[in-house]
Amino acid sequence: MDSGLNPRRSALWSVAWRTVYRVMRVLDPLVRSWVANRLPGLDGVVDVRVRGRRTGRERHALLTLLRLGDHWYLGHPNGTAGWQRNADAAGWLEIDPPAAHGPRFRAVRLAAGPERDAIIRATVVQQPFPANLLYRLSLRHVAAIGVYHRLDPIVPCAPASPAGPAHAIATDDPTTEGDR
């Protein structure tokens, strides 16, 4: 089945995306302030919180929440990111601001197919400027190695106990390398 995306991995785009994310790490405090003060231009950007798979400590990432139909999605254009590995290990992640039914979601990794292709196409429109231009230019690379998750709400049935999933991942390992 032809998706029309013509996936093709690019060494140039792999380096470019790594560079973009290094710059974003430096700009993180400014972007967080921008989002917290609800200044225009970063609509759809949310704070994703997830427990580190090795340390159990809370990790944060600013990501654009993508919408397609009635579903929400998060992704990374350049392969699997640390927040995705942590969410896969924890089985859940939280977003802020929360949804109407709560902040906690199960992140379901999308396999190659029509749903994944549709959300990759949506990134070109839904990412804020100038990220939308980068996605448009690197669309074939993103289609080849981008990793995307659908967010399925986890609706709480009862108050969480102290021994709930948020505490089950903690370990004695004091290192933080590998969580990100």
Which tens digits make up the pLDDT trace of 125-162? 999 988 999 999 999 999 999 999 999 999 876 555 55
The predicted structure's pLDDT at residue 157 = 66
pTM: 0.81
The predicted structure's pLDDT at residue 44 = 86
Phi-psi region of 38 (alpha: psi -120 to 50; beta: other; left: phi over 0): left
Mean of pLDDT values over 84-102? 89
Tally of CA atoms within 13 A in the half-sphere of 92 that contains its CB: 18
Give the CA distances from residue 142 to residues 49, 50, 114, 153, 156, in Å, rounded to whole numbers and listed in that order.
24, 24, 15, 26, 34
Mean of pLDDT values over 34-54? 87
